[in-house]
Amino acid sequence: MRMKRTWRAALSAFGWRHEGAANAALLGLPGIWFAALYLAAIGALLITAFWTVDDMSGDLIPGFSFVNFAQLASDPIYRIIAVRTIFIASMVTLTDAVLAWPFAYAMVRLAGPKLRAVLMALVLVPLWSSYLARVYAWRLILAHNGVLNWGLSAIGLPDVHIGYSNWAMWIVFSYLWLPFMILPLAAAVERIPPSLLEASADLGERGMGTFVRVILPMALPGMVAGAIFTFSLTLGDFVTPLLVGGTGSDFIGNVVYANVGVTNNIPFAAAYATLPLGVMAVFLLLARKLGAFDAL
């Protein structure tokens, strides 16, 4: 027992005197994890994108060829799919940003402690149920004879046919990722000192002026942090397009999935998968400019 304590004390003292060694010990395991699994996977992806596949035997042919990229550039469908994916991801992000504001503001500024706990639970509880169950639920809501049309006809409105369409994807994605926007936004709004709002009022700004000139700029990093989640989660998804999409609803992920699982053309899939990597790199650089990383 005594021996052990001495050993621990010596280790602790060593760590205190050599800060670098202590940090290295703490960062080592996650660092190895990051390098071995994450960076190695991306490296393998980038290398495979230049390989080809033998038509007959299906074997991978290592090498350095731009044939996959040439194919991607020559057929307009891959541009259409990329633009569709990025456009819907942007629309979902905007929608969630708009929807999250009143909720986040009411939760941290207006609600009492009890109501606040209830609102927080409302945001988090859907995350406890399966993603697939929630997407399937939406499929039933939006279907031809679903709850939506049933409700519309009950109040005398004509049916809408948005099941299995890009509209359906937009609604379902916006629903799925809303909590990921609300949480960082609420945290950012909460961090604004109430004294600033009072100062704004004292200086003659009304509610809207205070919101536009004080709250919005100060909460912007939180909103951009949320946008990183909503944008990247939509950009990489292929299950929601598969389940609630209709015709002309494929995402980049669906093309990758089909080339890996159906045609066994992994190099082509890898070449296409480099595109979202680039898009996210640009997005993250912009987000950093807007201070999102300080708000995470």
Partner 1 sequence: MKTGFKRQLARLVLGLSASLPVAQGAAAVQPLSMIGQGEGTLNVVAWEGYAQDDWVKPFEAATGCMVHAKYAGSSDEMVALMRSGGGGQYDVVSASGDATLRLIFGHNVQPINMALIPAWKNFIPQLQSPDFNTVGGVHYGVSYEWGPNTLLYNTKTFSTAPASWSVIYDPKYAGQVTVPDNPIQIADAALYLSKAQPALGITDPYELNQTQMDAVAALLKAQAKLIKKYWALASDEIQLFTSGDAVVGAAWPYQTNTLQAANVPVADTIPAEGATGWADTWMISSKAPHPNCAYMWINWVTTPKVQAQQAIYFGETPANTLACKEMDAQQPGACAQYHGDAPAAYFNQIKFWKTPRTQCGNGKDDCLDYAAWQREWQSIKG
The site for partner 1 (CB under 8 A) is made up of 53, 55-59, 71, 75-77, 80-81, 139-140, 143-146, 161, 163-164, 242-243, 245-250, 255, 258-259, 261-265
> For residues 143 and 214, which CB has a smaller minimum distance to partner 1 in the complex?
143
> For residues 28 and 63, which CB has a smaller minimum distance to partner 1 in the complex?
63
Least spacing, CB of residue 235 vs partner 1, in Å: 18
Strand pairing class (52-53; 60-61):
antiparallel
> For residues 146 and 291, which CB has a smaller minimum distance to partner 1 in the complex?
146
Least spacing, CB of residue 254 vs partner 1, in Å: 9
- For residue 289, what are the contacts with CB-CB under 8 A and spacing of at least 6? none
Under 8 Å between Cβ of 159 and 153: yes
Scanning the structure block, which residue is given the tokens 């066994």? 264
> For residues 59 and 198, which CB has a smaller minimum distance to partner 1 in the complex?
59
Least spacing, CB of residue 168 vs partner 1, in Å: 10
Least spacing, CB of residue 78 vs partner 1, in Å: 8
Least spacing, CB of residue 116 vs partner 1, in Å: 39
> For residues 57 and 130, which CB has a smaller minimum distance to partner 1 in the complex?
57
- For residue 102, what are the contacts with CB-CB under 8 A and spacing of at least 6? none
Residues recorded for the chain: 296
216: left (phi over 0), alpha (psi -120 to 50) or beta: alpha
Classify each residue of 151-177 as buried b or exposed e, where b means 16 or more C-beta atoms within 10 Å of its C-beta: eeeeeeeeeeebbbbbebbbbbbbbbb
Least spacing, CB of residue 18 vs partner 1, in Å: 39
The Cα–Cα gap between 72 and 159 comes to: 40
> For residues 163 and 179, which CB has a smaller minimum distance to partner 1 in the complex?
163
Q: Within its chain, how far is the Cα of 82 from the centroid?
A: 17
